[in-house]
Amino acid sequence: MLTVALLLVVVLSAGIFISGHFLGLRQAVGILVVAAVSSSALQFVLSHISGQGWGFAAMALVVGVVLGGGAVSLRRFFAVGPRPREVLREFWRDKRKLVVVAACAAAAILTLFFAQLSVEKALFWPGFYQSWTAGFVAFMLFGVATTVASLAKPEDDDFDRRVRILFGGQTGRHIDYIAGAVAKVGYYADLIERVYCIEQMDFTQDCYLMSVSHRASIRHYIRDVASTEFLEFSYVPDLVPGQNPVGHLISVTVTGADGVVRKKVGAAGLPILPQAGIDEKWSIDIGKGETINVEVKFRVWCKLGENEVFDPARFAKKIETKIERTCNGPDVTLKCKVRGVEIVYPLSSGGVVKIPVVDDCSPEENAYSFRLEVSSSASGVASALP
């Protein structure tokens, strides 16, 4: 019976606390009113069910208020923070938290069990229950705080503090500068997709017209820092006689994960000049942990036998590349070098070649290079396929 009374008291006091919160009783007077009503109701329930008095009612009231306050706090947390499923998933991954919660739950259940034994049986159990309860309360007051502090993970701290931990807890303007420098390189490309299309070949000038479509999904991996990224397009063309400009930057489009276009460079395009080439830069604001999609399209004349080299502007987890030919004419040879390994492919009219996928490529290394070669007997101009 005592266990039933305790459970009823806890549920009642928690319910009254939560009701008071949703009714707007958040000021001092409201809290006193809720406490007075709760205490009176608890004393009434206990005196009729188990014969317990005000002391037991006060203890149960504290437990109920703690539960009610926890429920209200969780509601506020989930209203502005992560979803419950994400919190539970993170909680499940941290086995330390599971052990602590399981131990507290087991201790609470044993406390209820020992409470019933202390009433039903004499001699050993009343004294044991008092000692057990005193130890349990002391742990809840002091041990839980210590446990929570020990469960803290440095990776959950804010960005500036994580940087200071990296440098032994130092502070100062030099650490602030380093934090800013780290934030500027806090991006990587999840996926880069490039499609090269050979649209026209001029064997008299040993050159070909190529269009390039570049798509990249860029992610900001610092989850709590927003920063500005600079999107740069730089290209130095081959020297192709009779072509000025050598090509054009057709378009640059940046969209967020929501599909909203943030920046677009298109219309007349920008010329790619002989020798000088092109070197353009645009600023892009990237939010905390956000992903943006960048699409660049350009067309340029290239020399047969000269290498086309691609190296990513930032770390790329995966690079997929396809080379296709949409013009007619004699077959050509495509020679690719992927991370030092050369591969040779035939490329005929209407043909498509997929270069091996490049994983985990840093800006300091070339992802790949390729060149087109033809036999000495090839001549004339190969136009687009009909």
Residue range 149-165, pLDDT digits in tens: 566 666 667 777 787 87
pLDDT at 149: 58
pLDDT of the residue at 26: 46
* pLDDT value for 37: 56
Across the range 206-227, mean pLDDT stands at 87
pLDDT at 27: 44
Average of pLDDT values for 37-55?
Answer: 53
Secondary-structure percent of the chain, ordered helix, strand, coil, rounded to 5: 40, 35, 25
Residue of 308, 299, 305, 248 lying closest to 273 (CA atoms): 248
Mean of pLDDT values over 68-75:
56
Q: In whole angstroms, how far apart are CA 241 and each of 158, 204, 238, 380?
A: 57, 11, 10, 15
Percent of the chain with pLDDT over 90: 22
pLDDT score, position 266:
64
Q: Tokens 């290239």, residue?
A: 302
Q: Which residue has 């992610």 as its token pair?
A: 219
50 by DSSP, 3-state: which?
coil
Cα separation, 231 vs 319, whole angstroms: 18
Task: Report the distance separating Cα 218 and Cα 215, nearest Å.
Answer: 10
pTM for the full predicted model: 0.60
The more confidently predicted of residues 116 and 206 is: 206
Q: What are phi and psi of 332, to 5 degrees?
A: -125, 165
Q: Containing H/E element for 120?
A: helix 95-120
Q: In what order do the strands lie in the sheet with 368-373?
A: 308-310, 368-373, 332-338, 341-347
CA-to-CA distance for 305 and 335, rounded, in angstroms?
Answer: 9
pLDDT band at 340 (very low <50, low <70, confident <90, very high): confident
Question: Tens digit of pLDDT for each residue in 274-318?
Answer: 888 888 888 877 877 788 899 999 999 999 999 999 988 888 999
Residue 173: pLDDT band (50, 70, 90) is confident
Task: Give the mean model confidence (pLDDT) for residues 233-237.
Answer: 87
User: Where does the pLDDT of residue 261 fall: very low under 50, low under 70, confident under 90, or very high at 90 and above?
Assistant: confident
Distance CA 215, CA 191 (A): 8
- Does residue 348 have a pLDDT over 60? yes
More confident residue, 344 or 118: 344
Q: CA of 56: how far to CAs of 17, 113, 117, 119, in Å? A: 18, 16, 17, 14
Q: Quote the distance between the C-alpha of residue 292 and its chain's center.
A: 12
In this prediction, residue 242 carries a pLDDT of 82
Examine the pLDDT at 191 and tell me if it is beyond 80: yes
What is residue 65's predicted lDDT score, i.e. its pLDDT?
A: 56
Q: What is the pLDDT of residues 263-276, one digit of tens each?
A: 777 655 788 998 88
Which residues of the chain form beta strands (DSSP E)? 187-202, 207-220, 227-235, 247-256, 261-265, 270-272, 278-286, 291-303, 308-310, 316-325, 332-338, 341-347, 352-361, 368-373, 381-382
Taking phi over 0 as left and psi of -120 to 50 as alpha, with beta for the rest, 43 belongs to alpha
pLDDT digits 0-9 by tens, 2-19? 555 555 555 555 555 555
Range with lowest mean pLDDT among 122-126, 219-223, 227-231, 377-381: 377-381
pLDDT at 111: 72
Separation of CA 127 from chain center = 54
- What pLDDT score was predicted for residue 2? 52
* Closest-CA residue to 315 (of 192, 161, 176): 192
Mean pLDDT over 178-186 rounds to: 76
How much of the chain exceeds pLDDT 70, in percent? 59
Residue scoring higher pLDDT (259 or 38): 259
Is pLDDT of 113 > 60? yes
**What one-character DSSP code corresponds to residue 316?**
E
Instruction: Decide if pLDDT at 57 tops 70.
Output: no
Question: What structural domains does the chain harbor?
Answer: 2-152 (no CATH), 153-184 (no CATH), 185-382 (2.60.40)
